[in-house]
Amino acid sequence: MKTIAVIGAGTMGNGIAHTFAQSGFVVKLIDVSEKSLDKGMATIAANLERMLAKGTITQEDVAKTITNIITYTDIKDGVVGADLVVEAATENVELKLNIFKQLNEACSHNTILATNTSSISITQIGSVVAHPERVIGMHFMNPVPIMKLVEIIRGYNTSDEVTKITMDLSEKLGKVPVEVNDYPGFVANRILMPMLNEAIETLYNKVAGVYEIDTVMKLGMGHPMGPLQLADFIGLDVCLAILNVMYEGFKNPKYAPCPLLVNMVRAGKLGVKSGEGFYDYSESKKAEKISKQFKI
Ligand SMILES: NC(=O)c1ccc[n+]([C@@H]2O[C@H](COP(=O)([O-])OP(=O)(O)OC[C@H]3O[C@@H](n4cnc5c(N)ncnc54)[C@H](O)[C@@H]3O)[C@@H](O)[C@H]2O)c1
């Protein structure tokens, strides 16, 4: 494996591109939006500079990582010659099915087609391509350059060979891959999202305030970040979408999103990315909070 195409240059896509490029792979970073590509490349450069300042990488590593990344706005141009495609576009079923239909046309039959989806069925995504045995979930965690886990999700048709290649590749990135099966929320979000939803429900029921709820979980349970702040970092719209997938997928009311979460998303309060969620992330405070939390 030498060449990796990453689709989507947002929060996850730029982190995935950064991680592969830093490990010596040629990365073709694709986004429909030129602005997202520029922003993604600027984020990668800023994160590399922070790592350089900390002494975890050299100036040469910074230069190599940046030169390993080429940007594209056209999916077909971008995926030519890729050994692996990691799709990290917006979490939307129709959008992802459409991208995989295009990949089915544009990629060689040997290309492994991975998706970073948080909650959409790998089996459903695989159903729109001619070789579903080559479709797999590669669920990186945010921030990708720092977090060790990659949840590797086998769809119903994913082959043993593709699973092994993807697991080995994750190790080459310095990550720890964990293999799981394809059911709503997989493992990470099946356990995490009900906890975040319960924290929001606790706030909604006025049991305690934002500070109190997060402090109980940080100091009492040893969590590095409180659940409400974590929800802000993930994006409240993303949390809502994942809970809805689990609610529909299991037909179980225990996954029903809290009305407060639904209302906040409707009001455009999406967390860090919109500048406000359970906390205020106005420009002056944002950089400080992010650099402290991410410890890059
Ligand atoms: N945010 C997280 O913490 C997190 C964690 C793990 C997994 N994920 C998953 O990663 C994926 C991306 O999430 P994100 O938070 O990076 O989203 P984001 O909104 O930050 O970025 C999505 C990017 O996809 C681009 N895009 C949309 N349609 C496209 C298309 N047809 N072709 C190419 N690019 C397209 C957008 O322009 C945008 O730049 C989602 O599937 C999400 O569920 C997110």
Ligand 1 pocket, mutate which of 6, 7, 12 (most atoms under 8 A from CB): 12
Residue 92 CA to ligand 1 center (angstroms) comes to 9
Question: DSSP of 16-61, one letter per residue?
Answer: HHHHHHHTT-EEEEE-S-HHHHHHHHHHHHHHHHHHHHHTSS-HHH
Q: Does the structure show a pLDDT above 70 at 39?
A: yes
Q: Which domains does the chain have, with CATH numbers?
A: 3-181 (3.40.50.720), 189-285 (1.10.1040.10)
How many angstroms separate the CA atoms of 127 and 115, rounded?
Answer: 13
Hunting for tokens 């043993």 — which residue is that? 160
> 205-236, pLDDT tens digit by residue?
999 999 999 999 999 999 999 999 999 999 99
Contact 214, 228 (CB under 8 A): yes
Q: Rounded to a whole number, what is the distance in angstroms from the first to the last CA of the chain?
A: 27
User: Annotated catalytic sites, by residue?
Assistant: 118, 139, 151, 189
Range 228-256 average pLDDT: 95
Q: 289: pLDDT confidence band, cut at 50, 70 and 90?
A: low
Rounded to whole angstroms, how far apart are CA atoms 268 and 61?
39
Residue 293 has pLDDT above 70, yes or no: no
Q: Is 48 in the pocket of ligand 1 (CB under 6 A)?
A: no
Render pLDDT for 70-82 as a digit per residue (tens, 0 to 9).
999 999 999 999 9
User: Per-residue pLDDT tens for 2-17?
Assistant: 999 999 999 999 999 9
Please report which confidence band the pLDDT of residue 296 belongs to, taking 50, 70 and 90 as the band edges. Answer: very low
> Would you say the CB of residue 122 lies under 6 angstroms from ligand 1?
no
What are residue 153's phi and psi, to 5 degrees? -110, 120
Does 8 belong to an annotated binding site? yes
* pTM beyond 0.85: yes
Cβ 197 vs Cβ 257: under 8 Å: yes
Phi–psi pair at 3, nearest 5 degrees? -115, 130
pLDDT digits (tens, 9 = 90+) for 260-286: 999 999 999 999 889 999 999 987 666
pLDDT classification of 60: cutoffs 50, 70, 90: very high
pLDDT tens string 87-100: 999 989 999 999 99
pLDDT at 35 > cutoff 60: yes
Task: Return the pLDDT at 20.
Answer: 98
Annotated binding residue 31: yes
pLDDT at 76: 96
Residue 241 Cβ < 6 Å to ligand 1: no
Q: Is 240 exposed, middle or buried (0-12, 13-18, 19+ CB in 10 A)?
A: buried
State which ligand 1 atom lies nearest to the alpha carbon of 241: 43
